[in-house]
Amino acid sequence: MISIGDQLPEASLTRMGDNGPEQVNLSDKTKGRKVVIFAVPGAFTPTCHSAHVPSFIRTRDQFDAKGVEEIICVSVNDPFVMNEWGKATGAAEAGLTMLGDADCGFTDAIGMRFDAPPAGLIARSKRYAMLVEDNKVTALHLEENPGTCETSAGEALLEAI
């Protein structure tokens, strides 16, 4: 599992662009920059929708004041779902970047995959938030229970930086 001090692996995620789905090289987003990446088990799922994303919308200006250049939300969903979820939560309007990890490649590479078959969640991401500076993890908050949003909330990560 990824830890503080580790470099992020090379990863290609997807987002909706002006002409449909487009690939985003994660290292292009993090190289030479201070970025927050937070991940959720699934778009439109209760805790993700009502607690996790709103916590980063609320704290956006405070992260900006600390020099964070971008806040990225990652979920093992396709870019169509992530785009609609960004609209539904207000995340897109707030300037959060919604990226899909549809094949779970990035999530697997950093050791954050989990499965919850009874809930219909297969190949999903654990709930976490991290601060990445020049592609290196400098803070990492992982939730023990994917149904809670406490240590991975925007406010908790903000306090740590």
The residue from 48, 73, 104, 149 that is catalytic is 48
Give the integer Cα–Cα distance in Å for 52 and 42: 11
Cβ neighbour number for residue 53 with a 10 Å cutoff: 27
* Residue 104 designated active-site: no
Give the integer Cα–Cα distance in Å for 53 and 93: 12
Count the alpha carbons within 13 Å of 56 in the hemisphere toward its beta carbon: 35
Residue with tokens 């990446």: 37
- Which tokens belong to 83? 């785009």
| Strand ranges inside the chain, DSSP E | 12-17, 20-25, 34-40, 70-75, 97-100, 113-116, 121-125, 128-133, 136-142
- Catalytic positions are 48
